[in-house]
C-alpha cells in the first residue's frame, strides 16, 4: 500500500516534463560530439577533450539553474521579473565600459566581460529576463483593459518602452545578432498579445519594406552612402555582400560562408562519417557548427537535428496549451521564438539562405553564457508544467489570481 510520501513523490514526478528533458539531452550529446570533432580537426585531441569537458560543465551549471527555476511558481516569476530586467539593463550598460578589449578586436562587439579564462556575455542573461518582463507587461495590461484600437496602441507602446532600451544597448555594443533575437521575441509576443491585426499588419508591411529597401540600398553605391550616414559599418556591408554573392570573394569576405556551404554540400545524403572533416570552416565550434553536422552526417543527420528542434518546440507548445495560463503563454512564446529564431538564422546562414550574423545554434554550439541562457529559458517552461500540476492540489495562488482575474474595463 502506497504511503503519503510515495504519493507525493509520484505527483512530483508527474509534474516534470521528461519529454523536454530527453530532447535537450539528445541535443547536448550531438553538440558535444560536434564540438569534439571540430576542435580535434582544428587543434588536437587534448584540446577537443578540454572543450567537451567545458561544455559538459556548463551543461551541469545550466541543469542546476533549471532545477532552481523550476521551483519558481507563477507568483514568484511575476514578482522577480522587474528585478531581473533591471539587473540585466545594469549589466548591459556596465559591459559598454568594462568589455574585454581582446574579444572586441576579434569580433567587433563590445559585449563580453572577461574574468580570467572565463568570458561572459550579459545579453544572453538578459534574454530570459526580457521574456519575463514582456510577459508581465502584456498580462497586466490585458487583465485591466479590453482590446480596443486605443488600448492596443497603449499596449504596443508599453511593450516598446521595455524593449527600446535593450535594443539601444545592443546597438551600442555592435551586437546585431542579439538585436535581431530580441526583436524576434518582441514580434512573437505581439502576435499573441491580442493586439488587433489593423495595427500589426501595417507594421509588418513597413518592416518588410524597410528590410528589402536596406538590401536594395546595399547593392547601390549611392545607397551605401546613405546607410553609412545612419550607422552602417563596413563589416555589415561585407556580410550582406557575401550573402548576395557567396562565390564572389571566396578568399576574402565570403570565405567563411563559402567554406560552410562547401562542407555541408560535401556531406551529401549520409555524410563523410564522424571525425572525417575535410573542409576548414572558421568559428566551427560556435556559429558554424551546423557545417560540422552537415559534413559528417549529411542530409540525414541534419534532418534528424531539425526534427529534434521541431519536437522540442512542439512539446513547449503542448505545455502551453495544457496549462491554460496567460502569463505562462507569453513566457513560452518568448522562449519558443528565441529558439526558433536562433535555429532558423544559424542554419540559414550556414547554407547561404541568410546573411552571417553571429548567431549560435541552441544547445549545440559551444559557449557558456549562451547555453546557460537557453537552459534557464527551458527551466521557465518546465516550471509551467511543474506548478500547473501543483496548482491542481494547492490553492495558495491568491495574489496572482487577483492580477489575472481583475474585471476588464472599456476606455
User: What is the pLDDT, as a whole number, of residue 112?
Assistant: 81
- Looking at residue 13, what is its pLDDT? 52
pLDDT over 80 (residue 391): no
How far is 363 from 346, CA to CA, in rounded Å?
Answer: 12
Is pLDDT at 11 greater than 60 in this prediction? no
Residue 355: which of 286, 265, 283, 256 has the closest Cα? 256
DSSP string, 214-280: HHHHHTSHHHHHHHHHTT--HHHHHHHHHHH-TTS-TTTTTHHHHHHHHHHHHHTTT-S-TT---S-
- Give the number of C-alpha atoms closer than 13 A to the C-alpha of residue 406, restricted to the C-beta side: 16
Give residue 217's pLDDT. Answer: 86
Higher pLDDT, 30 or 115: 30
* Alpha-helix residue ranges (DSSP H) falling in 116-230: 122-144, 149-172, 176-192, 197-218, 221-229
- Res. 249: pLDDT tops 90: no
Range picked from 20-29, 240-249, 378-387 for highest mean pLDDT: 20-29
- Per-chain mean pLDDT for the chain: 86
Model confidence pLDDT, tens digit, residues 312-342: 999 999 988 887 788 999 999 999 999 999 9
CA contacts within 13 A on the Cβ side of 59: 20
d(CA 98, CA 91): 10
> Per-residue pLDDT for 207 more than 70?
yes
Question: Looking at residue 411, what is its pLDDT?
Answer: 44
**What CA–CA distance (Å, rounded) separates 158 from 330?**
15
Q: How confident is the model at residue 402 (pLDDT cuts 50, 70, 90)?
A: very low
Higher pLDDT, 409 or 16: 16
For range 204-225, the mean pLDDT: 87
Q: What is the pLDDT of residue 175?
A: 86
- Grid cell locating 291: 557545417
Q: What is the pLDDT of residues 37-93, one digit of tens each?
A: 999 988 889 999 999 999 999 999 999 999 999 888 888 899 999 999 999 999 999
Query: Residue 407: its pLDDT value, please?
Result: 38
Residue 367 has what pLDDT?
A: 83
* Residue 300 CB contacts under 8 Å (≥ 6 apart), including other chains: 269, 270, 271
Percent of the residues in the chain that have a pLDDT greater than 90, as a whole number: 53
383-393: average pLDDT = 64
**Is the pLDDT confidence value at 159 over 60?**
yes
DSSP 368: H
The predicted pLDDT at position 406 comes to 39
Calpha distance 99→191 (Å, rounded): 35
What is the Cα–Cα distance from 186 to 341, expressed in whole angstroms? 12
Residue 223: per-residue pLDDT: 84
pLDDT value at 103 more than 60: yes
pLDDT at residue 14, rounded to an integer: 63
Q: Residue 409: pLDDT above 60?
A: no
pLDDT 10s digits, 263-279: 999 999 998 988 888 88
Average pLDDT over residues 184-207: 92
Which residues lie closer than 8 Å to 158 by C-beta, 6 or more apart? Answer: 137, 141
Instruction: Say what the pLDDT of residue 241 is.
Output: 82
Q: Which of 311, 291, 293 is nearest to 302 (CA)?
A: 293
Q: Domain ranges in the chain?
A: 86-193
pLDDT for residue 275? 83
Report the percentage of the chain scoring pLDDT > 70: 90
pLDDT at 403: 42
| For residue 148, pLDDT beyond 50 | yes
Tell me what pLDDT residue 319 has: 87
* Strand 113-115, strand 118-120: pairing: antiparallel
Amino acid at each position: 500500500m502506497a504511503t503519503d510520501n510515495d504519493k507525493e513523490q509520484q505527483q512530483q514526478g508527474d509534474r516534470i516534463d521528461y519529454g523536454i528533458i530527453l530532447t535537450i539531452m539528445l541535443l547536448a550529446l550531438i553538440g558535444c560530439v560536434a564540438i569534439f570533432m571540430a576542435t580535434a580537426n582544428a587543434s588536437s585531441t587534448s584540446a577537443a577533450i578540454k572543450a567537451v569537458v567545458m561544455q559538459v560543465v556548463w551543461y551541469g551549471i545550466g541543469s542546476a539553474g533549471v532545477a532552481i527555476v523550476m521551483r519558481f511558481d507563477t507568483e514568484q516569476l511575476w514578482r522577480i521579473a522587474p528585478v531581473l530586467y533591471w539587473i540585466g539593463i545594469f549589466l548591459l550598460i556596465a559591459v559598454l565600459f568594462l568589455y574585454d578589449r581582446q574579444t572586441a578586436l576579434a569580433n567587433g562587439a563590445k559585449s563580453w566581460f572577461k574574468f580570467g579564462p572565463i568570458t561572459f556575455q550579459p545579453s544572453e542573461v538578459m534574454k530570459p529576463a526580457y521574456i519575463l518582463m514582456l510577459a508581465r507587461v502584456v498580462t497586466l495590461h490585458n487583465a485591466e483593459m479590453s482590446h480596443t484600437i486605443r488600448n492596443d496602441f497603449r499596449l504596443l507602446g508599453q511593450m516598446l518602452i521595455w524593449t527600446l532600451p535593450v535594443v539601444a544597448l545592443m546597438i551600442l555594443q555592435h551586437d546585431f545578432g542579439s538585436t535581431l533575437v530580441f526583436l524576434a521575441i518582441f514580434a512573437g509576443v505581439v502576435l499573441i498579445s491580442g493586439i488587433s491585426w489593423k495595427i500589426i499588419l501595417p507594421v509588418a508591411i513597413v518592416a518588410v519594406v524597410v528590410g528589402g529597401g536596406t538590401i536594395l540600398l546595399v547593392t547601390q553605391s549611392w545607397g551605401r552612402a546613405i546607410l553609412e550616414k545612419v550607422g552602417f559599418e563596413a563589416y555589415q556591408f561585407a556580410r550582406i555582400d557575401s550573402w548576395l554573392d557567396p562565390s564572389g570573394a571566396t578568399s576574402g569576405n565570403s570565405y567563411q560562408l563559402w567554406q560552410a556551404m562547401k562542407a555541408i554540400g560535401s556531406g551529401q545524403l549520409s555524410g563523410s562519417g564522424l571525425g572525417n572533416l575535410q573542409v576548414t570552416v572558421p568559428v566551427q565550434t560556435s556559429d558554424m557548427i551546423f557545417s560540422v553536422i552537415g559534413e559528417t552526417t549529411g542530409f540525414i543527420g541534419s534532418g534528424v537535428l531539425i526534427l529534434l528542434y521541431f519536437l522540442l518546440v512542439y512539446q513547449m507548445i503542448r505545455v502551453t496549451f495544457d496549462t491554460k495560463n496567460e502569463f505562462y503563454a507569453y513566457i513560452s512564446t518568448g522562449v519558443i521564438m528565441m529558439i526558433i529564431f536562433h535555429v532558423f538564422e544559424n542554419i540559414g546562414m550556414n547554407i547561404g539562405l541568410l546573411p552571417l550574423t553571429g548567431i549560435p545554434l541552441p544547445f549545440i554550439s559551444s559557449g557558456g553564457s549562451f547555453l546557460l541562457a537557453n537552459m534557464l529559458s527551458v527551466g521557465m517552461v518546465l516550471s509551467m508544467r511543474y506548478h500547473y500540476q501543483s496548482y491542481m492540489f494547492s490553492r495558495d495562488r491568491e495574489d496572482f489570481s487577483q492580477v489575472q482575474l481583475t474585471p476588464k474595463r472599456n476606455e
